[in-house]
């Protein structure tokens, strides 16, 4: 069996914020799998169901983000999954908006929720799916950025990333971690510098002006 934990903050005021992409991704999964996330225990709200023939628990900690580890520890103590049967989904400012990254283990990085989980569990060899929310544009503080709600095109990109994260979680449960990483761990195309773009445009123009063989 697998425990899939989405990180976020409880409460209506945090419902659609960037910091709650873990919760929102779980909602996407729950809707797909017809799982109701409404039971309260383990300092979380959770629901049980299946992906294929494998039992899964979808859980949203109610401890607030920075103490997520208490809930995850309670869940793991009760269900006793193997380390690689715990999947954590959360936001990451260091990943470009609209993209995701999947790792099978590793440090918690700068994310306070993940830091608390690793601290409480005492190990970090479990899969995690990071959903990119991008960095602040400079006009907002980091706190206002992560606790703000995206709009317009940004929201559309984030919804796509959360759907990708849900797909990745399903693949991991089905034993297809490498497939998930191959499909989603792609770096965004590097934007060309203005000079490089000018040179490319010039080459294209010169190519278009060259006489065709039959005209030579």
Q: Could you tell me if residue 85 is inside a domain?
A: yes
Q: What is the pTM of this model?
A: 0.85
- Could you confirm whether 19 is annotated as catalytic? yes
**Are the CB atoms for 185 and 151 separated by under 8 Å?**
no
Longest CA–CA span in the chain (Å) reads: 80
The pLDDT tens digits of the residues spanning 69-120 come to 999 999 999 999 999 999 999 999 999 999 999 999 999 888 999 999 999 9
Q: What is the pLDDT of residue 195?
A: 63
Q: What is the pLDDT of residue 192?
A: 52
Q: Could you tell me if residue 212 is inside a domain?
A: no
Exactly one of 19, 40, 111, 145 is catalytic; name it: 19
For residue 5, list its beta bridge partners: 59, 88
Angle at 21 between CA 19 and CA 22, to 5 degrees: 105
Q: Could you tell me if residue 76 is inside a domain?
A: yes
Q: How many domains in the chain?
A: 1
Q: Could you tell me if residue 197 is inside a domain?
A: no
Q: DSSP state, 73?
A: H
Question: Which structural domain, as residue segments, surrounds residue 96?
Answer: 2-188
The pLDDT tens digits of the residues spanning 181-191 come to 999 997 655 55
Q: Could you tell me if residue 200 is inside a domain?
A: no
Give the CATH number, domain containing residue 93.
Answer: 3.40.50.1470
Q: Could you tell me if residue 209 is inside a domain?
A: no
Residue 142 CA to residue 155 CA, distance in Å, equals 18
């Amino acid at each position: 069996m697998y425990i899939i934990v989405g990180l976020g903050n409880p409460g209506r005021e945090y419902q659609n914020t960037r910091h709650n992409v873990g919760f929102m991704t779980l909602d996407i999964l729950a809707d797909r799998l017809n799982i109701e996330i409404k039971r309260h225990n383990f300092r979380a709200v959770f629901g049980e169901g299946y992906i294929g023939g494998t039992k899964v628990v979808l859980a949203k900690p109610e401890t607030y983000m920075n103490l997520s580890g208490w809930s995850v520890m309670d869940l793991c103590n009760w269900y006793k999954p193997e380390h690689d049967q715990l999947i954590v989904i959360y936001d990451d400012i260091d990943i470009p908006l609209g993209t995701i990254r999947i790792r099978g283990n590793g440090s918690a990085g700068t994310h306070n929720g993940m830091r608390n989980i690793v601290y409480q569990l005492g190990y970090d060899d479990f899969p995690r799916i990071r959903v990119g929310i991008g960095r602040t544009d400079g006009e907002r503080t980091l706190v206002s950025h992560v606790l703000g709600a995206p709009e317009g095109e940004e929201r559309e990109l984030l919804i796509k990333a959360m759907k990708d994260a849900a797909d990745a979680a399903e693949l991991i449960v089905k034993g297809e971690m490498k497939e998930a990483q191959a499909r989603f761990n792609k770096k965004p195309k590097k934007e060309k510098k203005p000079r490089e773009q000018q040179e490319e445009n010039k080459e294209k123009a010169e190519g278009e002006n060259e006489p065709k063989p039959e005209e030579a």
